[in-house]
């Protein structure tokens, strides 16, 4: 088990290097810092000097890989690759193009993101699993048939409409909760209620349908027939046998996204004006702040890799058949 985890962590290193190289290529080679500067400053009427200043302020004036103007190790260290990419390995994100400390921003903004994402995930799971169990219980009836159609219809609606529609109906027509904004402490709940509910509703269609498939697949297995032949009631078959087996794929599917919850939801946070990492990212994209986007790309990848590792470990915890070696 431990040797497995060590191997997986070792395996993550080349992947992190790969991600680093990809982001480096995307951000500094495909487009040179000059291009970025021009694009930021507006390409007409910008002088060489303005571009040079812009680059110097943000540390983009250095050469890409090799700096001949200094000596020793500094030849490699005083470069964009070292300053901007290699430092990501130790989570040194540096400062944004507008001069703010990215690490500090992240540490501040992850809490609102989590405040939405965690209840969204947990309540969402509870709701969708209950629905899916109910549908699976009525399998091969009209209830099943129409539930699936409704699920397909629900998942055919763009998230944008759930958010706009929810905001409009609840916030504007009913005036129950504020449409957008955020506050700290308990006050936050009234701001979080609407985004969480909308988040859950927008995910119901796809998840319910998926879980239903998992349940039905389990229900066709031989051990279910064995349980029935023992005289086990249908309810007990569902909860003690089917659910227990079906939770393996469901839980492990959830575990992989757990770390990514930190990243927040781009759309929800943007719409509801919640100062989380999602809206942070969107703002950066809209402002074309490359430093922040680059940091978020790297952070997201690391979290995803952690998610993969956690998935494997969680398998061994919930499935007695799997022993990692």
Task: Please state the separation of Cα 324 from the chain's center in Å.
Answer: 26
> For another protein, which is the closer residue by CB, 66 or 221?
221
Q: Where are the alpha helices (DSSP H) in 256-323?
A: 266-272, 277-287, 290-318
239 belongs to the binding site for another protein (CB under 8 A): no
Site for another protein in 206-235 (CB under 8 A): 221-223, 225-234
Q: What are phi and psi of 101, to 5 degrees?
A: -80, 115
* 274 sits near another protein (criterion: CB under 8 A): no
240 forms part of the interface with another protein (CB under 8 A): yes
Looking at the Cβ atoms of 28 and 131, the one nearer to another protein is 28
| Most distant CA atoms of the chain, gap in Å | 85
Contacts 24+ apart (CB under 8 A), 131-136: 131/204, 131/208, 131/211, 132/207, 132/208, 132/209, 132/210, 132/211, 132/212, 132/214, 132/215, 133/211, 133/215, 133/238, 133/243, 135/208, 135/212, 136/212, 136/215, 136/216, 136/219, 136/238, 136/242
Quick one: which of 3, 47, 49, 71 contacts another protein (CB under 8 A)?
A: 3
Enter the tokens of residue 109.
Answer: 């903004």
Q: Report in angstroms how near the CB of residue 262 gets to another protein at its nearest.
A: 11
> According to CB under 8 A, which residues from 181 to 200 bind another protein?
none
User: What's the Cα-to-Cα distance from 175 to each of 67, 153, 160, rounded to whole Å?
Assistant: 61, 28, 20
Q: Is 257 in the site for another protein (CB under 8 A)?
A: no
- Number of other CB atoms surrounding residue 58 within 10 Å: 21
Give the shortest CB-49-to-another protein separation in angstroms.
19
Please identify, using beta-carbon distances, which residue of 45 and 69 lies nearer to another protein: 45
- Residue 13 near another protein by CB under 8 A: no
Per the CB < 8 A criterion, the answer to whether 324 and 312 are in contact is: yes
Contact status: 169 vs another protein (CB under 8 A):
no
- Count interface residues toward another protein (CB under 8 A): 78
> For another protein, what does the binding mask look like between residues 114 and 143, x meaning CB under 8 A?
-------------------------xx---
- Which C-beta is closer to another protein: that of 11 or that of 104? 11
- Is 282 an interacting residue with respect to another protein (CB under 8 A)? yes
Shorter beta-carbon distance to another protein: residue 150 or 188: 150
Which residues 6+ apart lie within 8 Å of 50 measured at CB? 37, 41
CB nearer to another protein: give 31 or 108: 31
Stretch that binds another protein, among 11-19, 75-83, 85-93, 106-114 (CB under 8 A): 11-19
Q: Single out the residue of 188, 190, 171, 192 nearest to residue 116, CA to CA.
A: 192
State the minimum distance, in angstroms, from the CB of residue 28 to another protein. Answer: 10
Site for another protein in 62-91 (CB under 8 A): none
Does 98 engage in binding with another protein (CB under 8 A)?
no
Give me the 15-34 binding string for another protein, x by CB under 8 A, dash otherwise. Answer: x--xx--xx--xx--xx---
Give the list of residues 6+ apart from residue 176 with CB closer than 8 angstroms, or none. 170
Position 286 contacts another protein (CB under 8 A): yes
159 binds another protein (CB under 8 A): yes
């Amino acid at each position: 088990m431990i040797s497995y985890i060590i191997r997986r962590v070792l395996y993550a290193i080349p992947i992190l290097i790969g991600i680093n190289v990809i982001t480096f290529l995307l951000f500094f080679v495909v487009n040179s810092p000059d291009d970025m500067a021009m694009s930021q400053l507006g390409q007409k009427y910008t002088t060489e000097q303005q571009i040079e200043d812009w680059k110097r302020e943000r540390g983009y004036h250095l050469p890409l890989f090799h700096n001949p103007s200094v000596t020793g190790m500094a030849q490699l260290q005083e470069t964009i690759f070292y300053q901007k990419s290699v430092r990501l390995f130790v989570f040194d994100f540096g400062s944004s193009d507008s001069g703010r400390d990215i690490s500090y921003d992240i540490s501040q903004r992850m809490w609102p993101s989590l405040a939405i994402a965690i209840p969204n995930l947990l309540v969402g799971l509870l709701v969708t699993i209950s629905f899916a169990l109910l549908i699976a219980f009525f399998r091969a009836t009209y209830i099943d048939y129409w539930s699936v159609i409704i699920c397909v219809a629900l998942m055919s609606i763009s998230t944008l409409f759930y958010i706009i529609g929810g905001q409009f109906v609840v916030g504007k027509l009913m005036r129950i909760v504020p449409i957008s904004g955020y506050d700290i402490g308990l006050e936050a709940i009234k701001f979080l209620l609407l985004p969480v509910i909308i988040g859950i509703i927008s995910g119901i269609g796809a998840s319910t349908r998926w879980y239903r498939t998992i349940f039905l697949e389990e229900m066709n297995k031989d051990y279910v027939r064995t349980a029935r032949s023992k005289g086990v009631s249908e309810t007990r078959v569902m909860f003690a046998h089917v659910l227990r087996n079906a939770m393996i794929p469901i839980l492990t599917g959830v575990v992989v996204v757990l770390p990514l919850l930190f990243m927040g939801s781009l759309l929800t946070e943007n719409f509801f004006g919640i100062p989380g990492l999602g809206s942070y990212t969107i703002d950066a994209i809209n402002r074309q702040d490359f430093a922040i986007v680059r940091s978020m790309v790297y952070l997201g990848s690391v979290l995803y890799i952690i998610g993969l590792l956690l998935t494997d470990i969680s398998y061994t915890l919930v499935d007695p058949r799997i022993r990692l070696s």
